[in-house]
Amino acid sequence: MAQALASPPLYDADGRPLGRGGLAFTDEQSVAVLQREGPMLLSANAGSGKTAVLAERFVRAVVEDGCRPGELLAITFTEKAAGELRGRIRTRFMELGEREAARDMDGAWISTIHGFCARVLRSHAVTAGLDPAFVVLDEATARQARTEAFTTALAAFMAPPSGTASPPAAELELVATWGVDRLHDAIATVHDELRSTGHTVPRLPPVPPLDPPAAQAARLRAAFAAVDAERATWRTGLVSLDAAQVALDVIGAALDAAATGGSGAASTADPALASRLRGLKLAKQAKELKTDACAELRGALAAVLQGEVDAEAVVVHRHLDRVLGLYAEAYSGAKRGRSAVDYDDLELLTNDLLRRAPAVAGAYRERFARIMVDEFQDTNPLQLQLLSHLDAGNVFLVGDALQSIYGFRHADVGVFRAQRRRHEALGVAPALATNWRSRPGLLSTINAAFGGLHEDYVPLVAARESDGDGPLVELLLIDDAHDDPERLAAPAAAALQAGMPQARNLTLLAEARAVAARVRALINGDDVAAGEVAVLLRAASDLHVFERALELEGLATLASGGRGFWLRQQVQDLTSYLAALANPMDEPALLGLLASPLVGVSSDALAAIAQAGREQGRGPWALVTHGAEGIGLPPADRAAVTAFAAWFAAERAQAPLLALDQLITRVVQRTGYDLHVLGLSGGRRRLANIHKLERLAAEFELRAGRDVRAFIDHVAAEVDAQAREPDAPVELGDLDAVQLMTIHAAKGLEFGVVVVAGLGRQGQAGVNPILVAGDRVGLRLPRLHAVNADALDYAELKQRAQQAQIEEERRIMHVAFTRAEERLIISGAVTPGKTPPAERAGGAPLTWVGVRIDPLLQERLTPDDPAAAVDRQVGADRLAVAVRLVSPDVVGDPGATADDPAPDPDPDAADAGRDLTEHEQADADAQVPAARERAGLATGGAGDAGDVQLSLTHVEPTAPPAHRSRRTAAGRKAVPAASAAAAVSTPPAPPATLSYSSLSDHAGCGYRYYLRRVLGLPRQEPPPLPAVDGPDGPVVPVPPAGIDPLLRGSLAHALLEGPDPAAATADDVRELASEHDVELTDEEVADLLRLAGAFGSTALGRRVAGATTVRREDGFAFALDDADPGSPLVNGFIDLVAVLADGSWLIVDYKTNRVDDADLTAIVEGDYATQRRIYALAALRAGAPSVEVAYVFLQRADEPVSTTYDAADAPVLTGELITQAAPLLDGVFAVSERPHRDLCAYCPGRGGMCSWPEAMSLRPAPSA
């Protein structure tokens, strides 16, 4: 019998503990490995080997301390980490010859906190008040339950009081002011936050008593008297002092009115005092205004104004707390009805169980000889409470405060810091500072540049030996002048766009191409393999841009993480198939299916089918099954539709007998769709997504039953909720591919070369309008008739929340930078020559990252001097960074080679669902001939494939997001002019309502109106602008930099809806922008504030201020022909309606157009005459004796264009409007006689169904 091998020793000859493979632990690791009695908190730097320490503590607790694996509890952050830890411990036991312990690992308590809680609750379900067969809701089901709960809560909140039929006024006003979506988000957010701090039944803290108004008025009166006495000595002739004199007069008058209640009668306090002082400010530029008395007056004035807001907030708080209670009750009821809990319930109910049942808690304390918690920095107060019930002085906590990056999941780094201070006081808080991952030069630069940003920073100590003096950190700065048409050379613009998806701006394309070129250079230089490179992004929305740039460099890529799964084209195609299978009368789903490669119908054929279906009143499905021959489809399309109708009918007949995943599998195999996607770039990932969809469908069926329609509704809900559903994972195997992922997805991983890209992009800095911290509460009050205001403790709590966001953003960057082993590349867009803005919540990380490297770097670099080397000593560390500026003046095509022609632009790939480019489609056509044959696309019998091509053209019908496809220009054919003229042979019923936009849209081009508004065809994306002649040769126009003009107008109008737009602040602007998921630059904020404040100081603005009634965003509706009861309604909204003292009306329409020195009267007459006519009629029909309609172009607000009408003009205006509406009402949809790019670029008919060739429809707009 062979002699058994000796087990490896646990210690070396010097007594140092040995780990796996006989490697000795360092001194700092040994402390954590050997000191296993009592509590300990281990702070572990990135790459310091904490997992090895955690595993070894577990192993030695068994081998040396006599514990059984079932007596040890280890909590990890993810299921994956739990599995890896379990496997590492089992391997170590086997290495040590502890086979019995290795077998016992199957029963070890190693899991996430949720896994532990579920195990406890299942063992004590009755005691915890649960159904023993309870289930844990997945996130999608929980989301649905939360949505239903809010609907139930809102209905209860708005329910009419007994004996009445109308909702109570106060509740109705709250919902109208907040808006349903905003209220839902606010309540759901504070509900989850309160639960994370241990509130099983979340409620808002009560509002503490407010200062009485009388006391505030008394303070203001005393402060005013002191300053009033001082002002006799003030200088004269200074603007600031003159303004202060006026302000004091207003305060004095308000106080006098308050003393008598405004009526001459004695009064202790006037509730209107604050309203009389609203918007008043006391300047402090002059020395006379810097006295203590003036400071006290400012404070007293602020207290009076804030007191009014807080009093209003008390009422709002009461209503919000009621909604919160109703929502929590409804959500709990929804879960009880399902015998289910959510993940937060697992923690809450376990905490309550252990608190209410001391015997149960005691049993677990006795059971666990050791407790170990990994990633402790990502815990929250509730989880700390839960652990406290198990703590018998034997808890080992390990984590890194600098890797706490899950604030959006309610992780609180303050929990870790407080516990570290407690353990430090006990002398049991060692640290692992040594980093085994990264090269010394890289760590030294991170310490030097960013260490000073963090609280209690422990410098990263290099374990590896230094191997050279060259900088291992690179900073790649992209000049944002790539979006400046005066600086972007034509060859550079063409190179940037060639083969790339559309992006937010050309600067992003430039960054992606520059990053890809740098990665290619590193690989070509044999410094690194592609599989050792990772590109990390702060958010996944730009990931596809960098992915495509790398592919253009000939590099394989593997993208992971993010939330784009449901919008991937292959998922969209197959869910359109399922939706049509469930209901072929679902037009968007059917059209999406026909357009997909599963059927392959061209966009022209789709338009013809949709149009014919409407004209015949039968719908597309009826035509597909019984009438496709009579609508003039091209032969290939007719064959495709005929073949589809046959096999689809057979599949529909079989569908009730088949599982959901089988339905997907069958259509993929029948059509060769799997071969099609494999022939595309990233084909393995696309195919993996198909298999993931099959798995998700099977899981849904197990949970909810075999219901295709329900599954499609589930998919649509996931898309609407922007659910975090990543692409299917793909095993790399032998594939040498650059990996792309978010920074959060990269946590815990390491790569040879890390590129942290997109750091010039603004982040999200939204703060919930309901903030709670302990017993403090703050509200951001949205108001219909006043400027939004911070109430109660909101201002301070918001500042704390924003500071927490700033600190977490720093930690996110630390996590990203410390993933790198050999080299770190940081990239982002900047404005050279300009001082970076100050660091702020939601700001671009590069604004502070660059400053920490070199405060003057951004100002020093120029296109003529684009490179710099930063090399300086900072304390014990050396900061060494190689910097390069990529400027549009010098950049060529960083991605293409001289021998390869540039691919065509791909304007559609920016769509989250867009996977195919034009050249990819051609490649796929060449690679899947068998797919066409298997698809049954035959012109004759089933076995005769003929010469039919499988079209990869897509259409984007007006569909729910879950079904959406898209249109491309591939394969489109010109339609003769006669076809366009005859296309509307049977006019649709006239519209029941008209508006200025519908009339102007029809007037611009009747045919475009018909395609878009009647047929519902989606717009198509225009091709890039053609080059134009410039002084130095052809120049490619680029879109103007900055905010989209339409969004700019929307934000400006939203600001102007307030009663005092001039009082709007930068925070107000940013809050509005955040509601549109947009972050603005400081310049854009200043621009919007200028627009908002421009009107009030004009003569027209002063007239509005003196009006008896002012209504903003005022809706109207009137009959087009007041003599015809069946006449269509004309409706719309007016920016501002003022009723003046003489009874006349003033209508103001704001325009945010950039008009420079244009003729404003000509603009109004040419572009807005119809709108002016409608506005005038709306006022006159409403009883105005006369009305002045004024157009105010905010860029030149003091030059309004006004026209006045009286009652005698109404018949003329009516006749003119009827005449203008007649062609639309008569069903005349003529093609425009003046096509041009501004009119036609997005038209569904451009280049195919329209009679005009694209040479005309894409020409510049002709001069008037």
Binding site feature residues for ATP: 44-51
DSSP structural state of residue 737: -
| Alpha carbons 406 and 412: distance in angstroms, whole number | 8
Confirm if 988 and 1227 have CB atoms less than 8 A apart.
yes
Give the integer Cα–Cα distance in Å for 1172 and 54: 74
Task: Give the HSE-up count for residue 1198: Cα atoms under 13 Å, Cβ half-sphere.
Answer: 3
List Cβ neighbours of 871 (8 Å cut-off, separation of 6 or more).
471, 878, 879, 880, 881
What CA–CA distance (Å, rounded) separates 187 from 153?
11
Contact 471, 881 (CB under 8 A): yes
- 889, 969, 1166 from 928: Cα distances, Å: 44, 21, 54
Strand positions, DSSP E, 1166-1239: 1186-1193, 1201-1206
DSSP lists the bridge partners of residue 1191 as 1149, 1201
Where does residue 355 rank: exposed (0-12), middle (13-18), buried (19+ CB within 10 A)?
A: middle
Task: Tell me the C-alpha distance between 1075 and 478, whole Å.
Answer: 28
d(CA 1202, CA 1189): 6
CB atoms within 10 A of CB 738: 28
The sign of the torsion formed by the CA atoms of 578, 581, 583, 587 equals positive
Select from 531, 869, 890, 950 the least CA-distant residue to 733.
531
Q: Degrees (nearest 5) of the Cα angle 1084, 1087, 1092? A: 125
Q: Are 971 and 953 in contact (CB under 8 A)?
A: yes
Burial of 95 (0-12, 13-18, 19+ CB in 10 A): middle
Q: Which residues contact 358 (CB under 8 A, 6 or more apart)?
A: none
Query: Residues of 365-378 as b/e, b for ≥16 C-beta within 10 angstroms?
Result: beebbbbbbbbbbb
Q: Which helix (H) or strand (E) holds 778?
A: strand 776-781
Q: Look at the block and give the residue holding tokens 């009438």.
A: 627
Rounded to whole angstroms, how far apart are CA atoms 24 and 26?
Answer: 6
Q: How far is CA 368 from CA 36, 38, 93, 598, in A?
A: 13, 13, 20, 57
Q: Are 957 and 1233 in contact (CB under 8 A)?
A: no
Going by their DSSP bridges, the two strands 1028-1030 and 1033-1035 should be labelled as antiparallel
Per-residue burial over 950-962, b = 16 or more CB atoms within 10 Å of its CB, e = otherwise? bbbbbbbbebbbb
Q: What is the biggest distance separating any 2 CA atoms in the chain, rounded to whole angstroms?
A: 118
Amino acid identity for residue 113 in this structure:
I
Give the ranges where 771-895 is alpha helix by DSSP (H).
Answer: 794-817, 846-853, 857-860
For residue 753, which of 825, 849, 828 has the smallest C-alpha distance? 825
**What amino acid occupies position 336?**
R
Distance CA 21, CA 1045 (A): 64
Residue 823, classed as helix, strand or coil, is strand
- Which amino acids are annotated as binding site, given as ranges? 44-51
Give me the residue label for tokens 């993940």: 343
Give the length of the chain.
1264
Beta strand segments in 163-314, E? none
